A and B are shown apart, each in its own frame.
Chain A
Amino acid sequence: MTLLSLFGVGKQFSNGTQALRDLSFCVNQGAFVSLLGPSGCGKSTALRLTAGLLAPDTGTVDFPSSRPETGFVFQEPTLMPWADALTNVRLPLDLKSVRRDEANARAAVVLARVGLGGFERALPRELSGGMKMRVSLARALVAQPQLLLLDEPFAALDEITRAQLGDDLLRLWQEDGLTILFVTHSVSESAYLSQRVLVLSQRPGTITADIALPGARDARLSPATIEAQRTISTALNGAIAA
């Protein structure tokens, strides 16, 4: 079942930059889709359009059912520095005026699920970069979204932390039946994590390859993962050369 579809989407910024041109793709419910492309190709813009934070100039962003509850993770943790981890995670619930004790309980559960049980009262400055990103992930999940949008969430992290967070994300995706749209510029990350990779061309971004990666890639360096990386790299090189 299709959860969201973009059709012929174009976006030009007020400074004249044409960020996206004729971008069309569908995402099925429960899919883990990567949006891969070179820097500045409009990946983030596509994600913001999907979230409804930007309106397209041309084309449509459509949700065949109603607009799903959406979680968003930015490249930076984007936490409130004055608030502890629990309060940060609780923010979406607070904005929906969920009762305080219920919101606290739900936020604590999600914090534990991302591996930060016991850090409820920690302030962002007391947490490492990876832990801050986990708080950010917990905040995106606390309102039980159907759709999770991630904008290069692990780009600023070291390799080991990035691998751990990737595995945690896979686990959360499977447990919650999430639909994930994952923006990245890392070939290996997209090959290991996603079921499908959409390759974007250089600006103005449009989709040049739609690669399905069926079957499980149970390890980062399994032959299937390496093969997927090769396929994606070839498509990406084509996109950059074009």
Chain B
Amino acid sequence: MTRALDIAFPLALAALVLGAWEWAIHHWQVPHYVLPAPSAIAQALCANFASLMASLGSTLWVTLQAFAAATLLGVATAIGFTQSRLLERTLYPYAVILQVTPVVAIAPLILIWVGFDHINLALVIVATIVAFFPILAGATLGLKSADFNLLDLARLHGASRLQVLWRIRLPTALPYLLSGMKTAGGLALIGAVVAEFVAGSGTATGLAWRIVESGNRLEIATLFAALALLALAGVVIFAALSLLEWALLRRWHESAISE
């Protein structure tokens, strides 16, 4: 019952807002190049469906690659940090610098260095940088959160570093890592969009490029359609990662156990 209401109330709000929006556009005769009505956006979506889907696919592909790369790199770096204090001391400040430097500012450099003939690689690198840090932070915290007594017990029984990592540290880190991954999933999409914006015309074919292009042509309805698809993609990514988290943690972790 409450589950149904969780879905019903937001849907009702959406219907209300869209209805009011539609009415307001017609009532005040708002020009379509300023703000198109929801019906016009839906029409634009249908009219450009094939090309918008291709753009969505392109953006999602960059996002997926960046997310996978950020996860692998983040976990690998975090494992390195827990194995070597020296490595952590040396590298951590640079990880922070990478995180706090606005990626829009370094994206043009990356595009130049990688080259416009490898545009997909350049986009993936930019998006990876954006998504990397939450994974690193989550995995590092998680790997360090292993129960000290459990680590002592492993030592007592002569466990190797690899055994400790595999049997104790990684399972302990899983909830923290998944939380980082949920943040990183959304960031990978944002990173892909930012990279496409910077890459600009003639190179990128993703949704962000469609937004720029539609804006330039004053096809605001198409712009909104692309925007809606981006938002939808973000929601789907978040939902998929939440599902993964639930599947992996539901049996044992407090955060995923329902009453």
Q: Which A residues have a C-beta under 8 Å from some C-beta of B? A: 48, 51-53, 70, 72, 74, 76, 78, 80-83, 91-92, 94-96, 123-125, 143
Given A81-B253, A123-B251, A125-B252, check contact A95 B154 (CB 8 Å): yes
> A-B pairs with CB below 8 Å: how many?
52
**Which residue of chain A lies nearest to B254 when distances are taken between CB atoms in the complex?**
A125
> 6 interchain pairs (CB within 8 A)?
A80-B168, A82-B251, A95-B167, A96-B158, A123-B251, A123-B252
Instruction: Write out the residue numbers on chain B whose beta carbons fall within 8 Å of the beta carbon of A91.
Output: 153-154, 157, 167
A172 vs B22: C-alpha distance in the bound complex, in angstroms? 78
Tell me if B171 and A82 are in contact (CB < 8 A).
yes
**Which residue of chain B lies nearest to A139 when distances are taken between CB atoms in the complex?**
B153
Kindly supply a per-residue 1/0 record for chain B positions 148-159, scoring 1 wherever the CB is within 8 Å of any chain A CB and 0 otherwise: 011011111111
Tell me if A81 and B252 are in contact (CB < 8 A).
yes
Centre residue among A48, A82, A124 by max chain B CB count within 10 A: A82
Instruction: Write out the residue numbers on chain A whose beta carbons fall within 8 Å of the beta carbon of B150.
Output: 78, 80
Instruction: Write out the residue numbers on chain A whose beta carbons fall within 8 Å of the beta carbon of B167.
Output: 80, 91, 94-95
**Which residue of chain B lies nearest to A52 when distances are taken between CB atoms in the complex?**
B156
Instruction: Write out the residue numbers on chain B whose beta carbons fall within 8 Å of the beta carbon of A92.
Output: 153, 157
Tell me if A143 and B252 are in contact (CB < 8 A).
no
Q: Decide yes or no whether B174 CB sits under 8 A from chain A.
A: yes
Instruction: Write out the residue numbers on chain A whose beta carbons fall within 8 Å of the beta carbon of B257.
Output: 125
Tell me if B156 and A78 are in contact (CB < 8 A).
no
Tell me if B163 and A95 are in contact (CB < 8 A).
yes
Distance to closest chain A CB from B259 (angstroms): 13
Tell me if B149 and A143 are in contact (CB < 8 A).
no
Distance to closest chain A CB from B155 (angstroms): 6
Provide the main secondary structure of the chain A interface: loop
A124 vs B257: C-alpha distance in the bound complex, in angstroms? 14
Instruction: Write out the residue numbers on chain B whose beta carbons fall within 8 Å of the beta carbon of A94.
Output: 163, 167
Kindly supply a per-residue 1/0 record for chain B positions 191-232, scoring 1 wherever the CB is within 8 Å of any chain A CB and 0 otherwise: 000000000000000000000000000000000000000000
Tell me if B159 and A95 are in contact (CB < 8 A).
yes
Tell me if A76 and B159 are in contact (CB < 8 A).
no
Instruction: Write out the residue numbers on chain A whose beta carbons fall within 8 Å of the beta carbon of B174.
Output: 82
Instruction: Write out the residue numbers on chain A whose beta carbons fall within 8 Å of the beta carbon of B252.
Output: 81-82, 123-125
5 extra interchain contacts, Cβ-Cβ under 8 A, other than A51-B152, A82-B252, A95-B157?
A72-B156, A82-B253, A91-B153, A91-B154, A96-B158
Given A82-B171, A82-B252, A95-B163, check contact A53 B155 (CB 8 Å): yes
Tell me if B153 and A78 are in contact (CB < 8 A).
yes
Distance to closest chain B CB from A97 (angstroms): 9
**Which residue of chain A lies nearest to B175 when distances are taken between CB atoms in the complex?**
A82
The 6 closest A-B pairs by CB, nearest first: A78-B149, A95-B159, A95-B157, A92-B157, A82-B252, A74-B149
Tell me if A80 and B171 are in contact (CB < 8 A).
yes
Distance to closest chain A CB from B241 (angstroms): 19
Instruction: Write out the residue numbers on chain A whose beta carbons fall within 8 Å of the beta carbon of B159.
Output: 95
A123 vs B152: C-alpha distance in the bound complex, in angstroms? 22
Centre residue among B149, B155, B159 by max chain A CB count within 10 A: B149
Instruction: Write out the residue numbers on chain B whose beta carbons fall within 8 Å of the beta carbon of A80.
Output: 150, 167-168, 171
A81 vs B174: C-alpha distance in the bound complex, in angstroms? 12
Instruction: Write out the residue numbers on chain B whose beta carbons fall within 8 Å of the beta carbon of A74.
Output: 149, 153
A96 vs B147: C-alpha distance in the bound complex, in angstroms? 20
Tell me if B253 and A76 are in contact (CB < 8 A).
no
Distance to closest chain B CB from A224 (angstroms): 35
Complex partner residue of A76 from B149, B152, B157, CB under 8 angstroms: B149
Instruction: Write out the residue numbers on chain B whose beta carbons fall within 8 Å of the beta carbon of A70.
Output: 156
A95 vs B158: C-alpha distance in the bound complex, in angstroms? 7
Instruction: Write out the residue numbers on chain A whose beta carbons fall within 8 Å of the beta carbon of B147.
Output: 78
Complex partner residue of A143 from B152, B155, B157, B253, CB under 8 angstroms: B157
A48 vs B151: C-alpha distance in the bound complex, in angstroms? 13
A51 vs B157: C-alpha distance in the bound complex, in angstroms? 10
